[in-house]
Chains A and B, each alone.
Chain A
Amino acid sequence: MLRGGVIMDVVTGEQAKIAEDAGAVAVMALERVPADIRRDGGVARMSDPAMIEGIQAAVTIPVMAKARIGHFGEAQILEALDVDYIDESEVLTPADEAHHIDKWAFTVPFVCGATNLGEALRRISEGACMIRSKGEAGTGNIVEAVRHLRAITGDIRKITQADAAELFDWAKQLQSPLGLVQEIAETGRLPVPLFCAGGIATPADASLVMQLGAEAVFVGSGIFKSADPGPRAEAIVEATTHYRDPSVVAKVSRGLGSAMPGLEMEGLETKLAERGW
């Protein structure tokens, strides 16, 4: 029920209220936004339960929280806290270099990142209920999100053109279950919703990724690292709804103050999107 909406990273109850006021469909409760995780370095872990509960108490919309890749211990804690969704996220430091969480073992739904279709299908086969293209979190740079979204939707389009024999090769190339590949050939879409994350900083960015096939957007550092978070949050919500109407996106883009500064890909020491297997 998050479709067509904006999910916003928040680190305090106050920020969660600003997000809800602006029309967010959900908030992601975390201790540091990705831009700060990137700056601070060190091991990034699941947030303090007290902090997550504070955010649950502050808003009426769904609350998500992040567990490290493969860290089912953290995921069990988040489920016990009654969070609405768990993000098994590359933004945190991975806990397992081979295995993702067996998400079928949980009741709470998971969202997972992917940079290409094979990764997306492996996450779905592990039980993910939603996929988000990873982009490069904490950069305010949309280029990686576009690359990953196009990689996923482009391969889906190709698979719909493949004949039955070619689907076996697609499954092999994608290192993914044949059944999921056959399903995509038939439906022309992922079996779960496809969202977009990593680098969205402006209403225009939201409009771009929605037009490229995203069904909802995650905004991490882009809101609370900008000059004036409330109006920017509201504008990104508007742009996500009216993404096909440039006049609305133009209207809401006016006078928002400066966006988060942003980073070039060449200057990054760590590419978060490369985490996950």
Chain B
Amino acid sequence: MALQGAAAEHIAALRRLGARAVEVRVPSDLDGVGAVVIPGGESTTMSHLLGTSGLFEPLAERLADGMPAFGTCAGMILLASEVLDGREDQRYFSAIDISVRRNAFGRQVASFEADLEIDFDSGGSDSGGLGSEGHHEPFGAVFIRAPWVERTGDSVDVLATVRAGSGSGDAGASPQAASGCGRRDGEVPVLCRSGAVLVSSFHPELTADDRIHRMFVDMVGSRDSG
């Protein structure tokens, strides 16, 4: 989905992995598309443009029919089933049973990087997963004005978490987070999967490490072959 945000980086990552990637801006762009990636960007802007471009309804229908989807940062917000601290008129697809809090880690200055322990075995368990290499190296994740997952439904697997105070260094949780969230001292989910839907709070498209994109491509592949 190339309405706004870091679509170009996702397309480059998918093409490095041998997937065919196209830009989707209007409903007719969805013809022949088998899976969708919703990039980072500004979720309110994308919500607005989903309405004006007429893309929201056809994409919502495809997602309801089980089309695989991968959402990063703003894309995670758009795929969620509940958005906290968003705009009242914000559109989202309810494609994965999670509640996300927008900008939960704080403003731009609270953006951060973290090494995540990701269980790639579990994430790709029914999809063949990765080769033997690359399972246990931490994943260098970039969080920018990132949302976090405040609630996960029973169907959702949490593949990675981060400490809630990560966004503001030694100062503990950011004021925005502290005001609205009782889990601020604990670990919060930042990479989740449910069925054919994968979401991350962070931006795997901004780093050279393609393992999470590989996980999604494998999810799509196993679905097509199964």
Please report A residues at the B interface, Cβ cutoff 8 Å: 1-5, 20-26, 60-62, 79, 82-85, 107-109, 234, 237-238, 241-242, 245, 248
Contacts and interface: CB of A to CB of B under 8 A. Distances in A.
A242 B42 contact: no
Given A4-B2, A4-B7, A4-B41, 7 more contacts: A3-B4, A5-B42, A22-B48, A25-B42, A26-B42, A60-B102, A84-B145
Nearest to B3: A241
Given A1-B73, A25-B4, A62-B108, A237 B45 contact: yes
B171 interface: no
What 4 A-B pairs are tightest by C-beta distance, nearest first?
A84-B108, A23-B48, A25-B42, A4-B4
B2 to A, nearest CB: 7
Chain A contact surface mostly: loop
Contacts of B37: none
B152 interface: no
Q: On chain B, which size bracket covers the interface?
A: 20 to 34
A248 B3 CA distance: 13
Contacts of B87: 20, 60
B54 to A, nearest CB: 11
B42 A61 contact: yes
A61 B44 contact: yes
A237 B45 CA distance: 9
Contacts of A85: 108
Contacts of B7: 3-4
Contacts of A84: 107-109, 145
A5 B6 CA distance: 11
A263 to B, nearest CB: 30
A142 B178 CA distance: 45
8 contacts: A1-B6, A3-B8, A23-B45, A25-B45, A61-B44, A79-B109, A84-B109, A108-B109
Interface in B1-23: 2-8
